[in-house]
A and B are shown apart, each in its own frame.
Chain A
């Protein structure tokens, strides 16, 4: 089933039927559709008017579902092999699920996860096999009504992963989900839901990629994470999209008492990108965010973070770095809210921008709403330019101009990159070098 264009009630019902969903999910989709139809485009979006939803493939059924790489059709498998995923899985992952456009095509979890009661499943399957568990969280962390495109997401979601870690269980190896938009004019609406039980630990890695397209593609995914009391979630996301993709990212974590989230977010590629992970912190909860984004060659990259300190003694620490080059624009939007009564809460946010040339731009829009007088918050921003003496210095040490720029950029981002798993850090450095070769400056 390939379905293009014309978002309608009958389309959404057809999708739900195709997936064999329970009634509550069908209703949720239809309510979201109503919201989508009622809401207008958010004013802060740029480039969204280029998307003609009627032209996009909104759902594509992929006839592949494998638990070993050999079972996958070779034309699909080669994408993942080029990305070195089978190798990574063998070496350091506890579980891996991969999507191909609208559907999950491969998933495999190591035996010990099952023994400990950890659930790693494609979202659709989780809806069927663990209906009560999924229903308890699905759409509750990042509600459909947040904005028009989150409503659209809930109406059309397909693919994604469900991860559940029972109380007290520490998953020492990472679990990864990899989302691939393989075809142009495809819209991807994957939904990932992560639940970390009391005092449990999980490292979840989300990788995203797409090859070069002639036209464009649209990504409108949601990640919901619920970290129970004392739980600890490490979330790493690396989005390496092609330049023809418009990337909409809706991510949120609710962190219960004493819970902790470490969040590392890297984004490059994509024509326009909107990525603002948000965090709701209850008593004693903390979040540490490291984010970087690269905008070049006319790309428009919006990043930022939203922090809601609702409980006492909450902590947030954000380091955000952006690099703009060759007419690229990076925008940082930070929202910090400390509720009245969130006594003793602390927040520090820093936002550094590096501009490689005069055509590029960086904007920062911090917004603080602090209603609690005992809270201590700080925000600092710096903007620096690539200096000619730096470039000359590195060239006089034998590096050509592009390699010199790539080295300066990777140095600037190093304190964020160092939080990536080593496999990703080295891939990132390679991409950076390739990306800058001949295309910058």
Chain B
């Protein structure tokens, strides 16, 4: 179980989170929506351990234990995974070897699995040999982020606007794959303000965030 308890946080001196409470079980999907600037991405970064987000009060608990003292890499190793809203680009780091490295999986089995995922997500066939996020379109970047979640199958996945900048058909595909990921056991925090996603995920718990608080 991943829990956020009365979380207050500042970014560049400005208070962005003002007492957020949230809980997420493995296998569940929780949808988080709300206007731009309401603090959704800050919450995602705070959970993943971005040191630029200064926690002033409250806690983030994994199975009842605080993870606030852990580095981002330690949180990743405990199964907390964030997909970036705007992933940075990396020169000279091929996608395939990067994914092998972070997964620790053997080359042969992993490559087969990756090829399947590339096809499933409609990514360019050569994407595994291309540089990480470099030269990809906005939509492709999002799909590559989702590919990582599907490949790694972490315990908890925070999808920060995985559906922005992608076409309507892709959204349906993305939601389908996210559901599949949850069925396989990952707990999903699906951050969105895309109406189509909200419609497709309507039957799950939908939380709304405004001005740094979850209001319902």
Contact = CB atoms under 8 A, between A and B. Distances in A.
- Chain B associates with chain A: yes
Interface of A: 387-390, 392-393, 395-400, 407-408, 410-415
B91 A393 contact: no
B93 A400 contact: no
B93 A411 contact: yes
**Size category of the binding interface on chain B:** 20 to 34
Contacts, number: 56
A388 B81 CA distance: 18
B50 interface: yes
Given A398-B102, A410-B92, A393 B87 contact: yes
A318 to B, nearest CB: 18
Contacts of B50: 392, 396
A350 B71 CA distance: 38
25 contacts: A388-B52, A389-B88, A390-B88, A392-B72, A393-B84, A393-B88, A395-B49, A395-B73, A396-B48, A396-B49, A396-B50, A396-B76, A397-B76, A397-B102, A397-B148, A398-B102, A399-B73, A400-B71, A400-B73, A407-B93, A408-B90, A411-B90, A412-B92, A414-B91, A415-B92
A412 B91 contact: yes
A411 B95 CA distance: 11
Interface string B100-143: 00100000000000000000000000000001000000000000
A411 B92 contact: yes
A413 B87 contact: no
Contacts of A392: 45, 50-52, 72
Interface string B5-22: 000000000000000000
Contacts of A390: 88, 90
B77 A398 contact: yes
Interface string B60-73: 00000000000111
A167 B91 CA distance: 41
Interface string B172-183: 000000000000
Contacts of A413: 92
A400 B71 CA distance: 8
A387 B86 CA distance: 13
